[in-house]
Amino acid sequence: MKSLSHFGFASATALCVIASMAFSAAYADETASPIYGVTIPVGYRQWELIAPSHEALLDELRGILGNPVAMKAYRKGTLPFPDGTILAKVAWKHVPSAEDNGALGQFQAFVPGHPTTVQFMVKDSKKYATTGGWGFGRFIDGKPVDEAQHKTCFPCHEAHAKVHDYVFTRYAP
């Protein structure tokens, strides 16, 4: 009888461990990008600016930021980028600036408006060997977008930026 109660206790413990692992895995999937498992890095808004950009078709202003590994590579002109490089693209709708336009005397100045997306590229040549060494993450309101959108990341970078280690952004010193 005693061995049966030990068996019951062990079974219940194992079941709780398995259930908590499944819960943890499900939670991780909610914060990580599909396919790549990229999450939003803590403190990315304190990274340095690599370059600004303007996406006319999407009517967005963008700031491309780099972690310290990325910034060192950009400054030295290192290609391919080393493992540990993380690039962030922060995007906003661009809106007219009433203050600037008033000071300039005409309608010509724009500033960031409502945020649209935050996107990341993470360099890990072993983990992401099939995608040029890069993992991708695109987030709206802090949540990853769907798998279909993530499936478009690498093919686009491969088709248009392969010669620069799949990275579009050039350093603006």
Amino acid at 13: T
With CA atoms as reference, report the closest residue to 169 among 83, 57, 55: 55
CA atoms within 13 A on the CB side of 12: 6
pLDDT at 170 over 80: yes
Averaged pLDDT, 18-36 = 61
Query: What's residue 29's pLDDT?
Result: 61
Q: Are 14 and 58 in contact (CB under 8 A)?
A: no
Average pLDDT, the chain: 86
Share of the chain above pLDDT 90, in %: 72
Query: What's residue 103's pLDDT?
Result: 77
Structure confidence by residue, pLDDT tens digits, 91-143: 999 888 888 767 777 777 889 999 999 999 999 999 999 999 999 999 999 99
Q: Which residue is it, tokens 């895995």?
A: 25
Give pTM, 2 decimals: 0.81
Q: Are 96 and 79 in contact (CB under 8 A)?
A: no
Query: What's residue 13's pLDDT?
Result: 41
Q: Which of the pair, 170 or 25, is modelled with greater confidence?
A: 170
pLDDT at 5 over 60: no
pLDDT at 10 over 70: no
User: Domains (ranges, CATH) in the chain?
Assistant: 32-164 (3.50.70.20)
pLDDT at 16 over 50: no
Residue 168 DSSP symbol: -
> What's the burial of 133, exposed, middle or buried (CB within 10 Å: 0-12/13-18/19+)?
buried
